Structure 1
Amino acid sequence: MTEHPHQAPAQPVPPSVWRNPWHFLAFGFGSGTLPKAPGTWGSLVAIPFVPLWQMLPDWGYWLMLGITMLFGFWLCGKVADDLRVHDHEGIVWDEMVGMWITLWLVPEGWVWLLVGFLAFRFFDILKPWPIRWIDRHVHGGVGIMLDDLLAGVFAWLAMQGLVWAWVHWLF
């Protein structure tokens, strides 16, 4: 199989994903082991959690975001160190939290989940400034998480704009 000349070769899946609970979590319950677009799969795995998070009061969802972010700094850094890879493409906990940020304070329903997914993937892939700079210059668990957290914030702002426009157009 020939690699695309501008595409980095896929990183091998470490067997530890299936036996180490920290690796399993960081790899998005195994979704990061899929051969194509692990970040997209990790983003999709985050979606079923959103209706659960939306049952929390707004402050509870915010608290969950804070806990999963702080946990993610540690988790992604630990797993990257364990694997001796700066940012293994299969580590998708950062995409999961980015999706959860995107969908905070968004109305319930599959249409909003789909639009949020598309918005997050857009910003995560495009990486507008300062996301791209952070992705290249900040390392460790914070670096792994921070670019996706910012992509989530950009997507969240876009979603809030859509929610505002929808509410004002509807009423």
Structure 2
Amino acid sequence: MAYGFGTGLMPFAPGTFGTLVGVVLFWFMASMAAIPYAIVVAIMFFVGIFICGQTARDVGAIDPGFIVYDEVVGFLVAMFMLPAEGRWIVSGFVVFRIFDIWKPFPIHWVEDKLGLGSGIMTDDVIAGLYTLIILHTARLLIERFVS
């Protein structure tokens, strides 16, 4: 599961392919009300702490690139309460990947300080939160000034 249905084993850009798994899951979850969606994502987060931490321990690495379950959860955080429309999905994908690769403060710091499972999962959740803020701000501005 940590390998994102095998996408983490891609020879290049495994995090990007793992995020695509998040896109597919979002497509199915987008019609959920806010509270059930948040509960599912929270459960996935806490399960991910164990799954990603155990996988990292098993292979003896801190945050191996083939663990992409965290990208799936981070993308679902990024897309919270956004419509399942192409422009929002593509925007969310691009912005999330930028934050996940760039790792602005405190993403890299959190990853280092929290340890295996928690660090692996939390850095992508923070990237997802940054993306969420940007996308919801863009949506508000578009609805207010363009529509």
**What's the TM-score, normalizing by structure 2?**
0.95
Bigger CA radius of gyration: 1
Q: Which consecutive segments of 4 or more residues in structure 1 shift more than 3 A?
A: none
Q: Partners in 1 of 2:146 and 2:14 — Cα distance?
A: 37
> 1:116: which partner in 2?
92
Q: Helix, strand or coil: the match of 1:159?
A: helix
1:98 aligns with 2:59: no
> 2:111: which partner in 1?
135
1:163 aligns with 2:139: yes
- Kindly state the Cα deviation for residue 111 of structure 1 after the two structures are TM-superposed: 1.1
> 2:36: which partner in 1?
60
Q: Which has the higher contact order (CA 8 A, sep 6+)?
A: 2
1:29-108 alignment runs, 5 A limit: 29-108=5-84
> What is the CA RMSD across the aligned residues, in angstroms?
1.1
Q: Partners in 2 of 1:31 and 1:39 — Cα distance?
A: 8
Read off the aligned partner of 2:40 and give its amino acid letter.
Answer: M
**What's the TM-score, normalizing by structure 1?**
0.82
Percent identical = 33
Read off the aligned partner of 2:4 and give its amino acid letter.
Answer: G
Q: Which runs of 5+ in 2 are unaligned?
A: none
Q: Helix, strand or coil: the match of 1:26?
A: coil
Q: Partners in 2 of 1:123 and 1:105 — Cα distance?
A: 19
Deviations 1:86-135 (A, max 9, x none): 21110000001000000111122111100000110111111111112122
